[in-house]
Structures are given as C-alpha cells and as structure tokens.
A and B are shown apart, each in its own frame.
Chain A
Amino acid sequence: MKARAPVWSLLLLGFACQPEETVSTPPAGPSPQVEPEWFQSVVDTALADLEGQGLVTVSATELREVLELLETSQLPGRVGALARRDLQSRPPLFLNGALMDILESRESTTAQRRLAYAWLEQVGVAAVMPRLLLRRKYEKDLLAYVALARALLKLENGGALEGLLDLLQREEAGIEEIRRQAAAALALLPETEEWQPGGSFEQDWAHLLACRHSWFLQRELVPGEGPPAPFDSHLQAEVWRMIDRLNSQALRPVDDARFVLGSLPLNVVGLLCQATRERSHYVREAVMQTLSWRLGHVCGRFARRSDFQWAAHFETMLDEPRSRTRVLEALGAAGLAEAVPVLQSWLETGSWEEKTAAADALLRCADDSALSMLQGFRQKDIPLSAEATYSLQLLEHALDPNAAPPAPPESLAQGEKERRDRWLFDRQHRPGSETLDQENMPAAESGSKPGESQSLR
C-alpha cells in the first residue's frame, strides 16, 4: 500500500477495481497555472546584456604570475619597485579579478590575503565590491579584516563599519595592534565640512558614528539627495551574478548573496526591484527577503529619492499566489504608508498566512491615517493568527496611546513577539521619522562580527 510494498499495492488496486481518479497522481510541484504577465527572465536577460562586463576571469597561469608579483612587490629596492609597477600596469578589471581569486582561494596564506586587501585598497574598482563584501563572512584574521575594511571604505562602502566599531570596542588584551590599525582606518572615512582626517580620536569616533548612521539609513556614508548614484556596467554585471546565485538549490550561495546584496550602495534597491519580476520563484523570494529582512527602511529612502512607486510596483505582483506573503512583507518593509490600502484588503480577505503577512507589514508602514481602519477592523472580529493579532495590537497602541496596551496572545512564541517588538522600534527609521539616537542604534546590518565563525552549517 505504501510505496514500501509495491506488490501489495498492485494486488489491492487490481482487486478493488478502483476507478481511475481515486488514485490521483502526485502533483509535480505546484499546479501549472497561467503565468502572470509580469514574469520575465530578468536574470538571464541582464547577464546576457552585460556579457563581457565585470571582473575578468583569470587563468591559473596568470594567477600564479600575479601572486609572484605580489610577493616580489614587497622586496626593497628596484626589484620590488618593478613588480609594483608591473602590477599597476595591469588592466584594473583583470587585477581586481586576480586579487579576488587569491582572497577566495583556500590555499592562500594569511600574509598573502593581507597583501591582496592592501592592493585592493590601492587599485580597487567599484565592480569588486560584491565579492569583496562576501569576504567579511569568511575572513578570520583580524588584521586582514581591517585591511578588508580599508579597501571597502576606499570604495565608499560602509559594509565593514560595524566590524571596525566592534574591533575598536573590544577590550581584550593582545589585540592592541589590531585596534590601533582599526583606528587608523578611520582616516579613510569620507571628508565633510565638519570632519577631515588628522584630528583627535574623539572626532574620528563621532564621524564614524555619523557615517554609520547614514549607511544604516540609506547605504551612503554621507547622506546624499536626489536619485542614488547609478552603478557602472561592471558593477551591475557583478551584482547580477550575485542575484543569479539566489536560484541555487544549495543554500550557501543563497545565504552568501543575500549577505552581499544587503550591503551595497543605495542603488542596489533598484536592481533588486527589477529582479522581483524574475520568473524563478526562488530568486523572487530571496530578493524580496533581502529587501524586507535586510534593507527595510533603506527601500523607503530609495523610493522617495528616485520617485519609485513602491506600492504600485509590488501590488501588481499580488496576483501570483506562491510569493504573495513575501510581496505583502515587502510592501510594508519600506515603511511607506502608501501601502496601507492594499494591505488592508489582504488583511480582511487573505488566507491565514496572508493575513499574518499583511498585519506584520502594516505594523512596519502604517501611519496615523490607518487608525480608524484598525479600529473598524477590530470590530469585525475576523480570526487572525497570534502573530497578526499582536502586530495589530502594537500598531494600534503606537498610533493611539489611549488604545489598550498590547497583550501578547499566549500561543505567541517569545522570539516572534520580540521580532514584532523590533519592528515597532524600527518605525523610528521610516522615511520622514528620524528621531534616532546614534549611540543607541541597533546594529546597522545583521551579519558578521569580524573573526566569528559564520559558516557553521
């Protein structure tokens, strides 16, 4: 009867003369449906359009040569100088590709990696950012981590600020040199009217916090205005290669790509929004997870600054049932109240899961104008999951201090309660509501503390 007993099942079936349809065939995955119009092969198209762009793929022979030059470049006198000149004369995309290969190789020594990062600080191009950002997850040597942070800062990327901050705050003995170098790296922060390198450590520290705050809010070290700086075609090619990894069935490439995509400059939100139209639902899901789980309010700022119709973009995608909960999540994550009407309709008519996603999304984006809707909804007594119930309680109380204080349902898991408490707190970072205290800010990006093992699975 079970597949474990094929003989028996055949006998039984034959004997009982089952009509055909009582034994349904297993659904080969989700039932085939008419594809929504907005489905596209976004990733393949982008990769084809950008073919030949991005970091150069380096042969094994070339790689050995670069490695030798790298070692020779450290020698004093003429020999070293010649090697350095030779390296500098290589096409930047080639050299960046070779240096990344060295950094990613299991065979490279710590000394070689420190050297390669230092070279990237000198010759790094924007297109190296994605692969370089990934190194934050795997670089275990703390001095190499500082060198990595320097290379990123030089490219005006704040993806390692959290790491630097962590190193500077560590109190254990024996890492004085590391702390010293981390402090020295602050000189690479972008200059502003208030801050130039060469002042006191206190001034550097204050500037570090300001840059971190800006990076947290909009993935720029110094807050800009207007449409975010566009990516050159080489960086675009590298970003799409990262997005392509999201389709993987093995999880590591997916986790890696999300980790990287959440730490690119503001314009990445635009590319990710394009990728939400991708036909592969694994890509769509992971892209929306990155938008909602890692970028959140950053998306809201992107939309404001580039006049991107956030709610309209995602609303179109709600006709597709499989990723619907992720779409609802993304709608709310940007913290833009324009999403409230569509969320309200799914709160009332969606499935159990969809109602939950809609309620959670409302907690993240609704403003005062949603209060009467909430009160009206409560009157209707529509059954909701514990998660959704708590989200709405938090929201109503946030919008109306006279509302009943939140009473988490008993069946709500502690971790799920805390996740929603965090969203409540995050409401402060929604576009237009910046009352943030820089000293007590949550970690700017989830992810690595330097030197911690990140790859247990």
Chain B
Amino acid sequence: MSEGRSQSGMIRAANLLALVLAAGGISVLAMVFKPQPPPEAIEVASSQQCMECHPGVAAEWQASHHGFAFENPEVRKLSQDFRNEECLACHAPRPVLAFAPGERVLARNSERKLGVDCLACHALPSGGVATANPNPRKNAPCRPQTVTRMADVNHCAACHNQHKTVDQWKTSPPELRGQNCLHCHMPPVFRGGGRRGFDHSFNASHDPDSLRAAVRLFGSWSGDQVEYGVENYGAAHNFPTDERSRAADMQYRWHLVGEEPGAWQQRYRFRDPYRDEVDLTNTQLPSGESWKETLTAPPQAEALEFRLLYKTNPYMTDEDAVVVESMLLKP
C-alpha cells in the first residue's frame, strides 16, 4: 500500500484509529463509573431534530451523497422525478434497522427530501437510536443503544449490494478489508467536547482524493518494451464499484523527440455494463488486482504518458472526467 506515493486523507485517517481509540477509551471509562440520571427521553419523529443536537454530523451529512439522495438531479432525471416510485426504496428509505440484516429496505412516506437520513441509519424500531459504541450516554435525549450491527457491513448491504459491492468486499485481500466499510468510508473525527466521532461525508467517487486513494499507476521500460498498468490497491471492492454507470478509462500517448505529444489513445475501460449492453462484460478491477499491458515503443519515443480517467457516467467526455492520476514514463 505504500508504493512511494502519499496516501489520501481517507486512508491516512483510518490509520490514525488506534491513537484515537486510546483517547476515546479513557473518557468512556470515566463515564461508565458515573451514576447516570434517569433518561429524559424524547420522541424523535424527524431527522431535522437529530440535526439540531448533532450539528457537526449534520454538516457532514448535508454535504454527502446520502443527504443528497432524493434531491440529486441525476437521480431525479433517471427516475422521472421519482414518478418511478421504485427508486424511492433506497433514495428515501425507511429505517434499515427495521429490516433483517442485509435485506433490502423499502420506501418511506414523509420527508423524502432528506434522502438517506439520520433515521434511515440510526432509528430503532423500538424507539431510540442505535450506535456501535458499547458505552453510549444512555441518558442522552435520543436514548442511544448499543447495536453492533451499526458497524457491520450488512448495515450498508441493505442498499449497497444490488451491484455486489459488499460481496466484493468479502473476497477482498485481508490487508484491505479492514473490519468493515467504515474503516475507509467513515474515518474518525472529533466532535465538540472532544468526543470521538466518525465522518459522515461518505467520500468516494465524487471526491478526487478518494479516487486517488483507490488506485496506483505503475510502469517500466526495458529496451523497446514498455509495460504500464494500474493496481486497485486502496479499495476493498472493485474499482469502480456499485452503480453500473461508473467507468474508468486508461489512456496513453507517446512523446516523440522534437514533437508535441499526440492525441490520447483510449486503451481500456473498467466498468460493469448495463444489462442491455449484452456485447460487453464486466471489466471492473477487483480489489488488490492489477491490469497491465506491454507496448512496443516507436523508434523516436522519449516518453510514454498514461493516465486514468474517472467518469460518473459512461457517456461523459474526457474533458469532464476526473484525471485520477497520470504518469510520464521515460526509458
């Protein structure tokens, strides 16, 4: 994982975990021994209420794609403004914890605007909220209760396994897998009062730094043979994963002596095709694996330049795509 390139914030943060846990542990111990007043529980009907008391989490969530799941113009377009009500199930879900672990969720009736909201992930069928924290402040108004499933991949699988992201995780190399999805997607942060929290921004393919954390380009030049490629070394699932619309394109161009570099050549597309694209197969790059090929350098070549582009939909132009990484390889 440390092949000579600095790691992104997402992965680095996960490595800080041990430290943070040590600090958090002490404050939790202090709490356990304090007698706790009887809870003054409140009935939470709307995620708006959660946000008033948890402004730090709320700010991260609001900028995330979970917070955006109903208003997202891409989704609105494809679902004809949710006239296709089938799309409501995950984009405006009922609380996941009301369903058996890993089973798909179903649509709710109110406040759909809030998308995948606090209640969707935290609300318990019996009232109160779920946390993975084994020692939550039981007298907090929202009545937090320990539910280990909160930190289990099945929690995410309710919505993220239709395209097998969680199954891919299960077969990823142990050194990448971590304990669960949170390892990479919810790095620790600090909340007001020094309480340890977990980032609710859920950064991924809409965040260039996260994309960079997923892959690494490599290459070598010997004689006139040039090998280049890409390794999925930072995602514990395929790259790209989930939505079938996601595509990553590998492109190259030669630099010839005394000439401007030529046009980019499209070489390979990593993608899970739509179901009606029957002539294509799944070419996503599995976790820990590499794609590479060898080219014969033209006589005047002084460098091979190659790059990996990320497109959130397959029809996006190169200009609109994110350049995840590029490399200039010389003999």
Name A residues whose Cβ lies closer than 8 Å to a Cβ of B: 1-6, 8-9, 12-13, 15-16, 18, 22-31, 106, 138, 140, 249-252, 254-255, 258, 282, 285, 289, 293, 322, 325, 329, 351-353, 356-357, 360, 385-388, 411-413, 415-416, 418-419, 446, 453, 455-457
A255 to B85 alpha-carbon distance, docked (Å)? 10
Contact between chains at A411 and B113 (CB < 8 Å): yes
A-B contact count (CB 8 A): 162
Contact between chains at A8 and B101 (CB < 8 Å): no
Q: Which of A15, A24, A31, A251 contacts B147 (CB 8 A)?
A: A24
23 A-B interface contacts by CB (under 8 A) = A1-B25, A1-B132, A3-B152, A3-B180, A12-B135, A18-B135, A26-B101, A26-B147, A26-B148, A30-B98, A31-B125, A251-B86, A254-B86, A258-B86, A322-B98, A325-B108, A352-B46, A352-B110, A356-B109, A385-B46, A385-B111, A455-B274, A456-B78
> A2-B133, A28-B101, A388-B110 provided; 7 other pairs, C-beta below 8 A?
A3-B132, A3-B152, A5-B18, A23-B146, A322-B98, A351-B45, A455-B274
A27 to B178 alpha-carbon distance, docked (Å)? 24
Name B residues whose Cβ lies closer than 8 Å to a Cβ of A: 17-18, 21-22, 24-25, 28-29, 32-33, 45-46, 70-71, 76, 78, 81-86, 89, 94, 97-101, 103-104, 106, 108-113, 124-126, 132-135, 138, 145-152, 162, 178-180, 182-183, 243-245, 274-276, 278
Q: Which of A3, A252, A351 contacts B179 (CB 8 A)?
A: A3
Known: A2-B151, A4-B151, A325-B109. A456 touches B245 (CB 8 A): yes
Known: A24-B147, A28-B101, A413-B112. A4 touches B85 (CB 8 A): no
Known: A9-B134, A453-B274. A289 touches B100 (CB 8 A): no
Q: Which of B84, B125, B183, B243 contacts A27 (CB 8 A)?
A: B125
Q: Which residues of chain A are within 8 angstroms of B148 by Cβ–Cβ distance? A: 3, 25-26
Q: Which residues of chain A are within 8 angstroms of B112 by Cβ–Cβ distance? A: 387, 413, 415-416
Q: Which of B85, B99, B109 contacts A357 (CB 8 A)?
A: B109
Q: Which residues of chain A are within 8 angstroms of B145 by Cβ–Cβ distance? A: 24
Q: Which residues of chain B are within 8 angstroms of A16 by Cβ–Cβ distance? A: 29, 32-33, 135
The 3 lowest CB-CB distance pairs between A and B, nearest first, are A29-B100, A385-B110, A413-B113
Contact between chains at B110 and A457 (CB < 8 Å): no
Q: Which of A1, A4, A388 contacts B180 (CB 8 A)?
A: A4
Complex: chain B residue closest to A107, CB-CB:
B278
Complex: chain B residue closest to A415, CB-CB:
B81
Contact between chains at B126 and A31 (CB < 8 Å): yes
A435 to B73 alpha-carbon distance, docked (Å)? 36
Q: Which residues of chain A are within 8 angstroms of B106 by Cβ–Cβ distance? A: 282, 285
Q: From DSSP, what is the main secondary structure of chain B's interface residues?
A: loop
Known: A4-B182, A353-B109, A456-B78. A27 touches B147 (CB 8 A): yes
Q: Which residues of chain A are within 8 angstroms of B70 by Cβ–Cβ distance? A: 413, 415
Contact between chains at B133 and A1 (CB < 8 Å): yes
Contact between chains at B99 and A29 (CB < 8 Å): yes
Q: Which of B81, B104, B243 contacts A249 (CB 8 A)?
A: B104
A450 to B276 alpha-carbon distance, docked (Å)? 14
Whole-angstrom distance from the CB of A417 to the nearest CB of chain B? 11
Q: Which residues of chain A are within 8 angstroms of B100 by Cβ–Cβ distance? A: 28-30
Contact between chains at A455 and B276 (CB < 8 Å): yes
Q: Which of B109, B133, B149, B244 contacts A457 (CB 8 A)?
A: B244
Complex: chain B residue closest to A329, CB-CB:
B109
Contact between chains at B81 and A250 (CB < 8 Å): no
Whole-angstrom distance from the CB of A213 to the nearest CB of chain B? 21
Contact between chains at B146 and A22 (CB < 8 Å): yes
Whole-angstrom distance from the CB of A453 to the nearest CB of chain B? 6
Complex: chain A residue closest to B153, CB-CB:
A3
Whole-angstrom distance from the CB of B140 to the nearest CB of chain A? 14
A29 to B274 alpha-carbon distance, docked (Å)? 32
Complex: chain A residue closest to B33, CB-CB:
A16
Complex: chain B residue closest to A353, CB-CB:
B109
Contact between chains at A416 and B113 (CB < 8 Å): yes
Contact between chains at B134 and A13 (CB < 8 Å): yes
A413 to B73 alpha-carbon distance, docked (Å)? 13
Complex: chain A residue closest to B245, CB-CB:
A456
Known: A3-B180, A289-B85. A29 touches B101 (CB 8 A): yes
Q: Which residues of chain B are within 8 angstroms of A18 by Cβ–Cβ distance? A: 32, 134-135
Complex: chain B residue closest to A17, CB-CB:
B32
Contact between chains at A2 and B97 (CB < 8 Å): no
A453 to B313 alpha-carbon distance, docked (Å)? 15
A418 to B82 alpha-carbon distance, docked (Å)? 10
Contact between chains at B179 and A12 (CB < 8 Å): no
Q: Which of A1, A388, A418 contacts B28 (CB 8 A)?
A: A1
Q: Which residues of chain A are within 8 angstroms of B71 by Cβ–Cβ distance? A: 413
Q: Which residues of chain B are within 8 angstroms of A329 by Cβ–Cβ distance? A: 109
A167 to B182 alpha-carbon distance, docked (Å)? 49
A413 to B106 alpha-carbon distance, docked (Å)? 19
Q: Which residues of chain B are within 8 angstroms of A415 by Cβ–Cβ distance? A: 70, 76, 81-82, 112
Contact between chains at A27 and B113 (CB < 8 Å): no
Whole-angstrom distance from the CB of B228 to the nearest CB of chain A? 32
Whole-angstrom distance from the CB of B151 to the nearest CB of chain A? 4
Q: Which residues of chain B are within 8 angstroms of A418 by Cβ–Cβ distance? A: 81
Whole-angstrom distance from the CB of B72 to the nearest CB of chain A? 12
Q: Which of B99, B103, B274 contacts A456 (CB 8 A)?
A: B274
Contact between chains at A255 and B86 (CB < 8 Å): yes
Whole-angstrom distance from the CB of A136 to the nearest CB of chain B? 13
A357 to B106 alpha-carbon distance, docked (Å)? 14
A385 to B110 alpha-carbon distance, docked (Å)? 7
Whole-angstrom distance from the CB of A14 to the nearest CB of chain B? 11
A80 to B18 alpha-carbon distance, docked (Å)? 77
Q: Which residues of chain B are within 8 angstroms of A457 by Cβ–Cβ distance? A: 162, 243-244, 274
Q: Which residues of chain B are within 8 angstroms of A351 by Cβ–Cβ distance? A: 45
A136 to B316 alpha-carbon distance, docked (Å)? 28
